[in-house]
Amino acid sequence: MEVTADKEFQVKSDVESMWKLLSDPAKVVVCVPGAQLTEVVDEVNFKGKISVKIGPVTSKFNGEAKFDKLDADAREMVLSGAGTDTGGKGSASMTMSLALSEFEGGTLVKSSMKLSVTGKLAQFGARMIVAVNNKLFNQFTQSFTQMVETGEAAAGTEAAPVDGLQLAGSAFMGMITGKKD
């Protein structure tokens, strides 16, 4: 199953500082709920783990990621990654593009992501995956913003439990209203 998401957020910091942070996997990973950086292979390739819990189902993935594009002049980057469920019951792959631009008082970060999931998580359907992605993105942006402002990220290495009932309600309302977010 494949889902896409286009998101943006603003940070009250200059674009050069945001570029340095977002192009450093060790800095970013601490803001991603449930993620750990396990190895930096070289400047553009790295390995890691991520754990995602939806209701009673927890999926843990080991994977590899790389920067396919790091254009500091254009302030654009493309990150791709793939992983397999440690229980052998699925896989996930992702491609994310980021573009940074200045605005008065800070940096606008626009992202576009394509996520493909197989196995246990795919059984929840696209609307649930979109709802989980939205929640994780919001947790990431809050943690990243806190890190920029205070020097410490809000998220740790443990996956935050996702309220499956709340997300099911959100997905159901999306079916009724036709909204995916």
Closest CA to 110 of 1, 3, 5, 29: 5
Question: Residue 164 is part of which domain span?
Answer: 2-177
Task: List average pLDDT for each run of 10 residues in the chain, which is 181 residues long.
Answer: 91 94 92 91 94 82 95 96 90 94 94 90 81 86 89 53 45 45 47
Which segments within the chain are labelled E, that is strand?
2-11, 35-40, 45-54, 57-71, 76-85, 90-103, 106-119
Cα 23 to Cα 31, 45, 74, 102, distances in angstroms: 13, 12, 13, 17
Total tally of structural domains belonging to the chain: 1
Measured distance CA(129)–CA(81) in Å, rounded: 17
Residue 124 near residue 54, CB atoms below 8 Å: yes
Domain containing residue 119: CATH number: 3.30.530.20
Interval 96-125: pLDDT, tens: 999 999 999 899 999 999 999 898 888 877
Predicted TM-score (pTM) of this structure: 0.79
